Amino acid sequence: MLKITDKIQIPLREFDFTFARSSGPGGQNVNKVNTKAFLTWHVEQTESLPWAVKDRFVKKFSRRISKEGKIIVVSQRFRDQGRNVADCITKLQELVRSVVAAPVKRRKTKPSKGAIQRRINDKKATSERKSRRRPLRGDE
């Protein structure tokens, strides 16, 4: 089970893992062993997420989700397969956690009278400062 919160858990059977050869340093190990991990998760068909969380996830990560409704998370940070699988799971966990909490709607407010007055005073001061930079009319 991938634990997101106390109430949201995703069973590991929903994930498909595939492996390939990694790039980068590692010598013979990189050339012989499939250590790069791909985690594939069918977001659209999962029943583990509440519909609101799933909807926010699909909207936020729409560019990362394929037309079939799958998201692919890749890791090749480590030189062994097990740690890359764990890294993929951690990355997915962070993605889901980022959309668990619903965003707080902004309440419109009006600026206070003091804020309005400060803004006007600042504008007057700026105008005065710039007017002092101009040459006098008789000097032209």
Over the stretch 10-39, which tens digit does the pLDDT of each residue have? 888 899 999 998 887 777 777 788 989 999
Domains of the chain: 2-100 (3.30.160.20)
Residues of the chain by 3-state class (helix, strand, coil), percent to 5: 45, 15, 40
- Residue-level pLDDT at 2: 84
Task: Tell which residue, 89, 93, 74, has the closest CA to residue 34.
Answer: 74
- Residue-level pLDDT at 96: 92
pLDDT, tens only, 76-127? 988 888 999 999 999 999 999 999 988 889 999 999 999 999 999 999 999 9
**3-state secondary structure (DSSP) of residue 39:** strand
- Residue-level pLDDT at 89: 93
- Residue-level pLDDT at 19: 94
- Residue 17: enclosing H or E segment and its boundaries? strand 15-20
pLDDT, tens only, 119-140? 999 999 999 999 999 887 765 5
pLDDT, tens only, 31-80? 788 989 999 999 988 888 899 999 999 999 999 999 999 999 999 988 88
7 touches 97 (CB < 8 A)? no
Rounded-to-integer distance, Cα 56 and Cα 104, Å: 13
61 touches 92 (CB < 8 A)? no
Task: Tell which residue, 89, 39, 101, has the closest CA to residue 64.
Answer: 39
